[in-house]
Chains A and B, each alone.
Chain A
Amino acid sequence: MNEIWILAESKSGHVAPVSLELLAWARSLGKTGSVSVTAILPGPAIDPEELCYFGADSVIHCPSEGLSGFSARPLAACLSALLERRRPSVFLAAATTTGRTVLPYLAACEGLGLTADCTELSLDPETAVLLQTRPAAGGNIMATIRTTRGKPQMATVRPHSRRPLERDPGRTASVEVMDFHEAPGAAPPLGRDGGDSPPFPNGGLLLVEERPFESSRGIADARAVIAGGKGFRKKEGFALLDRLAGLVGAEVGASREAVDRGWADYPRQVGLSGRTISPELYIAVGISGAIQHLAGMQTSKTIVSINSDPEAPIAAMSDLAIRADLYEFIPALMAKLAGYRSADGVEA
């Protein structure tokens, strides 16, 4: 029996959807009976049993406030303590801002190897060797990596690289609560005079404030992203893109050219120096498809491009390449969308 752990995350007091994808990955590594899957859930969450309904055999919930995400050091210490009790063969985390910070911290503390941002995983049932495949050199090559010493074998896995399993509320929920005491990490803002330091917890960090992006969830977790580039030529063009995205419940993304011109905020930048995303549907509008842009979106499930130049590199990267002037295409598409509504509206 190979034991697999995943590092679950919580968001606003609930299990984060990206954790359910990790469970699907863990379950894909072997048949029931040959692998057991444990989800470690740090930070407050009211629904840890959901992890069992989506594929975990058991959950270890460490609900202490100080373990929620932003502070890697106490979370790594908590994970080290859990590894002291039991060492699984494999430990996976999502390649999110949390996973990409905590897992390397843990890897260095434990003297273990770690592969970043995998898009493919497989486990040899006999030898228990985990093969970890990730895009490298801007997505031009795929490298398969293995860990040569120590247990667990660790990897972070790119969000949206696998769909969650069907929710099965018939599965047994087994949740163990463990407390690791960390001072709650909240503080008032730093005064202009510097002021006296509040007592800092072990992670050296105190949370002053969280500011969600206005009226949208950002591109990281989006199912569909419609991204605009320099082809828009002016900022007002992005208002059109906003409207289109609003109609179909997609998020707006942007190329670096568009971000540098101030047409979109930096967190919406897709590519090598922006975010790497894999939505179900990526629509590139007026984007040429430079290698650095492709690095951030080429693992999207379906790619559509709208470009006046049929020779633009993005066309060859697309499943559907539409040759059009975007200022003609978007209004025409919006007119046709009059007969449809965003599916989000149904659930609301």
Chain B
Amino acid sequence: MKIAVLVKQVPETDSLTLDPETGTVVRSEDSSIVNPLDLYALEAALRIKDADPETSILALSMGPPQAETALREALAMGCDEAVLVTGREFGGSDTWATSRALSAALSKLGGFDLILCGEKATDGDTGQVGPEVAAFLDLPVLTYVGSLSLSSSRKEAQAQRIVEDGSQVLRCRLPMVMSFCKAIGEPRLPLLSGKRRAKAAQLRSFGLADLGLTAEETGAKGSPTKVVKVDRPRLSREATFMDARTEEGMDKACDALIALMLEKGLIVPSAAVAGATAARTQP
């Protein structure tokens, strides 16, 4: 079975700290990581390989040459191969243009039974690339997958999908594109042997010409959306502070919260409930 996993390199949000003096965000120097949500897709792929060593996993990324680091991490976790789509022309791609390039790379590589990705990237936060890649490849897509098992024929899978008010159990015909959420389970850490192998591995890279795309179809030029303005919103609110460490303070704080709950219509005085019930039972 052949699996492709889409990975993205993102800035590490954990390394962001607030300068206590100036209140500005400080980002540590070398702070690029594999999108943490992609690790769940990698884990899902690696579990399939654990059960069936015949499985081969290819990690695919688009980004600047430095994104190679993210691909090496995927290799260290246990992926077999890695391909980087890279070139100046791809810069400034929105989700449409990114998906266009990634799907062109997937078509060129060909023959995948499963194409897996994370729910979204922690920087762009759109979650659009998975479904868009599926559409470009004319494949079905299943999003928010929380668990997955394959049939013995490997032509079918059963998946659990996590939605707003519960979960759905679905049977899926492969090939298919799937995006995973955290419920799939903790991603494994790379082993030392994996790290060594990853360090020595040869990565392939694809440029614009390799993918048969034109500069008009990708990058900022090929992107149908454009950022017109960026604002820094007021991050803090006008907080009312209440100290509930004394009995009196506790009393006031509880009253303030109850007043809010009343205002929002969450609760009503018990008497009103009794009144409403009485009113309804009148003929």
* Between-chain CB contacts (< 8 Å), 18 pairs: A100-B127, A103-B128, A104-B132, A108-B135, A141-B232, A142-B233, A147-B224, A187-B171, A195-B151, A197-B173, A204-B176, A205-B172, A210-B168, A292-B13, A302-B264, A324-B243, A332-B254, A341-B269
Residues of B near A323 (CB, < 8 A) are 241-245
Q: Is A180 an interface residue (CB 8 A)?
A: no
Of chain B, the residue at the smallest CB distance from A330 is: B254
Could you tell me if A194 and B226 are in contact, using CB atoms closer than 8 angstroms? no
For this complex, into which size category does the number of interface residues on chain B fall?
Answer: 35 or more
Contacting residue for A291 out of B16, B161, B165, CB 8 A:
B16
Could you tell me if A320 and B244 are in contact, using CB atoms closer than 8 angstroms? no
User: In the docked arrangement, what's the CA distance between A151 and B122, Å?
Assistant: 29
A interface residue numbers (CB < 8 A to B): 11, 70-73, 76, 96-98, 100-109, 111-117, 131, 135-150, 187, 189-190, 193-195, 197-198, 200, 202-213, 217-218, 220-221, 223-224, 247-250, 266-267, 269, 272-274, 280-281, 283, 291-292, 295, 298, 302-304, 310, 315-325, 328-329, 332-333, 336-343, 345-346
A-B interface pairs (CB < 8 A), number? 335
Contacting residue for B257 out of A113, A218, A273, A320, CB 8 A:
A320
Could you tell me if A302 and B260 are in contact, using CB atoms closer than 8 angstroms? yes
Could you tell me if B268 and A143 are in contact, using CB atoms closer than 8 angstroms? no
User: In the docked arrangement, what's the CA distance between A280 and B245, Å?
Assistant: 27
B interface residue numbers (CB < 8 A to A): 13-14, 16, 25, 36-37, 94-96, 99-100, 122-136, 139-144, 146, 149, 151-153, 155-158, 161-174, 176, 181-183, 223-233, 235-245, 250-251, 253-258, 260-262, 264-270, 272-273, 276
Residues of B near A107 (CB, < 8 A) are 96, 128, 132, 135
Residues of B near A198 (CB, < 8 A) are 171
Could you tell me if A320 and B134 are in contact, using CB atoms closer than 8 angstroms? no
Could you tell me if B257 and A322 are in contact, using CB atoms closer than 8 angstroms? yes
Smallest beta-carbon distance A109→chain B, Å: 5
Smallest beta-carbon distance B240→chain A, Å: 5
Report the 10 A-B pairs with minimum CB-CB distance, sorted nearest first: A113-B224, A204-B140, A108-B135, A194-B151, A220-B164, A324-B244, A194-B152, A116-B126, A212-B166, A113-B225
User: In the docked arrangement, what's the CA distance between A184 and B152, Å?
Assistant: 25
Residues of B near A269 (CB, < 8 A) are 182
Could you tell me if A208 and B131 are in contact, using CB atoms closer than 8 angstroms? no
Residues of A near B245 (CB, < 8 A) are 323-325
Could you tell me if B240 and A320 are in contact, using CB atoms closer than 8 angstroms? yes
Residues of A near B258 (CB, < 8 A) are 333, 336-337, 340
4 further A-B contacts with Cβ under 8 Å, apart from A206-B171, A210-B167, are A107-B132, A204-B174, A320-B239, A321-B241
Could you tell me if A145 and B266 are in contact, using CB atoms closer than 8 angstroms? no
User: In the docked arrangement, what's the CA distance between A292 and B245, Å?
Assistant: 29
Could you tell me if B151 and A272 are in contact, using CB atoms closer than 8 angstroms? no
Contacting residue for B270 out of A223, A316, A339, CB 8 A:
A339
Given A108-B136, A205-B170, A316-B237, verify A136-B125 contact (CB < 8 Å). yes
Could you tell me if B161 and A273 are in contact, using CB atoms closer than 8 angstroms? no
Could you tell me if A108 and B99 are in contact, using CB atoms closer than 8 angstroms? yes
Could you tell me if A304 and B165 are in contact, using CB atoms closer than 8 angstroms? no
- Summarize B's interface: helix, strand, loop or mixed: mixed
Residues of A near B152 (CB, < 8 A) are 193-194
Could you tell me if A148 and B126 are in contact, using CB atoms closer than 8 angstroms? no
Smallest beta-carbon distance B136→chain A, Å: 5
Residues of A near B181 (CB, < 8 A) are 266
Residues of A near B36 (CB, < 8 A) are 273
User: In the docked arrangement, what's the CA distance between A284 and B184, Å?
Assistant: 26
Residues of B near A304 (CB, < 8 A) are 257, 260
Could you tell me if A143 and B230 are in contact, using CB atoms closer than 8 angstroms? yes
Most-contacted residue by chain B among A146, A205, A317 (CB, 10 A): A205
Could you tell me if B244 and A315 are in contact, using CB atoms closer than 8 angstroms? no
User: In the docked arrangement, what's the CA distance between A268 and B256, Å?
Assistant: 26
Given A194-B153, A210-B166, verify A329-B244 contact (CB < 8 Å). yes
Residues of B near A210 (CB, < 8 A) are 166-169
Given A105-B141, A341-B270, verify A324-B94 contact (CB < 8 Å). no
Residues of B near A280 (CB, < 8 A) are 264
Contacting residue for A114 out of B96, B156, B166, CB 8 A:
B96
Could you tell me if B237 and A101 are in contact, using CB atoms closer than 8 angstroms? no
Contacting residue for B128 out of A114, A143, A150, A295, CB 8 A:
A114
Given A142-B230, A190-B151, A273-B182, verify A203-B261 contact (CB < 8 Å). no
Residues of A near B173 (CB, < 8 A) are 197, 200, 204-205
Could you tell me if A208 and B165 are in contact, using CB atoms closer than 8 angstroms? no
User: In the docked arrangement, what's the CA distance between A97 and B127, Å?
Assistant: 10
Could you tell me if B165 and A336 are in contact, using CB atoms closer than 8 angstroms? no
Residues of B near A281 (CB, < 8 A) are 260-261, 264, 266
Smallest beta-carbon distance B272→chain A, Å: 8
User: In the docked arrangement, what's the CA distance between A204 and B159, Å?
Assistant: 12
